Amino acid sequence: MSILSQCVSSLRSFRFFGAALALLLSAAVPSFAQFNSTIFGPNVYVFDPSVAGATINSQLDVISNASVASAQFSTNRYAVLFKPGTYSGVSHQVGFYLSVAGLGTTPDATVLNGGGLYLDVTDGSGNVTTNFWRSLENLRINVPTGGTDRWAVAQGAAFRRMHVAGNLELTNASCGFASGGFIADSTIDGQLNECSQQQWYTRNSTIGSFAGFVWNFVFSGVTGAPAQNFPNVTTLATTPVVREKPYLYVDSAGNYNVFVPALKTSSSGTSWAGGGLGTGSSLAISTFFIATPANTAAQINSALATGKNLILTPGIYSLTAPIAITHPNTVVLGLGYPTLVPQSGTPAMTVADVDGVQLAGLLIDAGITNSSVLLQVGVSGAARVTHAANPTSLSDVFFRIGGATAGSATTSLQIDSNNVILDNIWAWRADHGAGVGWANNTAAHGLVVNGDNVTALGLAVEHYQQSQVQWNGNGGETIFYQSEDPYDVPSQGSWMDGAMNGYPSYEVTSAVCAHTAYGLGVYSFFNQGVAIFQDNAIHVPNTTGINMTDMVTVKLNGSGGINNIINGTGGPTPAGASANNLGSYVGNGACSTSTTNVDINVGGAAVPPFIADQYFTGGGSASTTHAIVTSGVTNPAPQAVYQSNRAGVITYTIPGFTAGSTHTVRLHFAEIYFSTAGQRVFNVAINGVPVLSNFDIIATAGARYTANVQQFNTTANSSGQIVLSLTRGAVDQPELSGIEVQ
């Protein structure tokens, strides 16, 4: 045989061997391509009951992101969907950035036997406080006899429209350290055991029994809930207003649809107890633009502009412009924790002031360039109308400042529409991960509410550098609030709200005459080795119409602590992770009947809504044409306000208020003359009460030509006036650019 013949023979033998090996491997390792080749793209896996449980478990091994150490800030995103039917042998952890859902019309249409889906993993020390960003929806889990299903999560997770046929425990097997979470529209036939969970909100559900109390457990509209028993338990018979999250299902012809549940008021129990889809409407999948991370903001907005709804499939969306929702009744549904990241300081998403928009299942990260707001609902400063009959709702929408990547944003979520419903919101300024530090992942507020009659159902806001929540709208209501103060405050001087030590976590401003809240928990852990104090965990106007029920503060660890629960009452929080509780705070003062803010362009002409300078004595005016940096200010004044000022010893006597009424005063500053810190230092008092002592504009703002806003609560004097006095401090004379009284 020639050398050429030998080579050809060897090649044929190799090909035969290779083909045989490929056949052997294909028999040993299942091909998963058939499961992720649907209209939703490669990161969405769809199974039907013909698929063996072992095959499903193998795929979940690949995509589950279950390990805390390696996956907490993974860039992988997946969704797993189960068509209706019964599945045997499915048993797996639900990992990071994984959403799992059934596609039936009720949870009972999709049944998992053999262990089901659960979460039990920890960070290695038994701690489950970082088990974020995962969800289970619209499934029935048949718990094996004598067993217990587990859902050991913290914030940023959802357990919705579930039926647990058995017991459910909300921590790992050893009842490790835990800090979550949220259940809605679900039935647990057996016992719901909180075990070591520090706090939890359960809404519109049915439970067989309940066990385990630590600090703050809130139930609204839950059949089988424990009776009201504060401290520990807050129970409301109904939920005042809610719209359940939209969800995917397949119809009898195998077509995908999205069901949009109807608005409910004074409701209790699950939406599916009567069988079928329940009350609401179905949207064909053809009405949706199905986006992937390869789509640009322009492409997505083009589809939205034509009236399309939007499905965001799993992945990370780098956005050079905001996704803009402009049509009423638009549904935006995220699968597998799609993550929106603005790239150039814009919001990630904006929503017009229209009826019935529904946002669900989104994670929004701050980008490297500071955004003034990450998600804005409504139009800042615009006239607002009622949406009571068809409100906008946000379900399972989460925010992150740093952690996964460096980033900053002044405000994470701003509500400028009326009647908005917030249902399971977590806004987190990261305390660990990438880009973390007091001067790095900067963020003032997690939530700012300017709209009226806004309802928050399950609200968690943590580690922001000013008030975690600032509520400016009337008629708001919160059921369950969980918050941790910023850990990394470097000094008391860097965390002052005027003359007050620290910012309140939950702040209802003096413009508000009516506000209600139930089950509020605020926790401190100042970990820089410096004694940092917060004078009030909660601050509200002392006016009739303010009703705060069941409040708790805890010093988790660290230095300093919380001096009072609310408005100078409740006393200091003890050390040693012991709760300090206050059952009720009811305001009793008069609320201003004025509906118009007083906005003054100090030293300048009218710049709507700011009126021309008036009500002053003393000082002289000055101006500049130099651009003023306002990116670090929440709700900045118009540029022209900062480009003019009045300097000297000045008094403003502003009339027209109800004697004894409470108000928010916002003072706007920008240094346009001096170039370095230490050249202008002065004092400010409001109605005789010092609020700024030796205040240095440049040192506070960080640079010349940079805006800074200082905000205070005050009470109109017996003549219905607010008197603002600026006096000399250590160096030179006072300077002021703008005044807002709300």
The set of catalytic residues is: 484
Burial class of 335 by CB neighbour count within 10 A (0 to 12, 13 to 18, 19+): buried
DSSP state of 636: P
Report the alpha-carbon distance of residue 258 to residue 264 in Å, rounded: 18
CA atoms of 477 and 69, how far apart (whole Å): 38
What are the backbone angles phi and psi of residue 308, rounded to the nearest 5°?
-70, 150
**Please, which residues have CB within 8 angstroms of residue 466's CB and are 6 or more apart in sequence?**
444, 445, 497, 503, 634
Which DSSP letter does residue 285 get? G
Instruction: Dihedral sign for Cα 647, 651, 657, 662, please.
Output: positive
Identify the H or E element spanning 11: helix 3-28
Number of H helices, E strands in the chain: 6, 61
Output b/e per residue, 689-708; b: 16+ Cβ within 10 A: eebbeebbbbbbbeebbbbb
Contact between residue 333 and residue 311 where contact means Cβ atoms under 8 Å apart = yes
Cis preceding linkage at 609, omega within 30: yes
Task: Report the relative pairing of strands 393-401 and 349-351 from DSSP bridges.
Answer: unpaired
Q: 363 pairs with which residues across the strands?
A: 339, 398
The structure tokens listed for 405 are 């990547």
Question: For tokens 């602590």, what's the residue?
Answer: 561
Q: Which secondary structure element, helix H or strand E, spans residue 47, and what is its range?
A: strand 44-47
Q: How far is CA 268 from the centre of its chain?
A: 24
Measured between alpha carbons, how far is 505 from 412 in angstroms, rounded to an integer?
15
d(CA 437, CA 430): 9
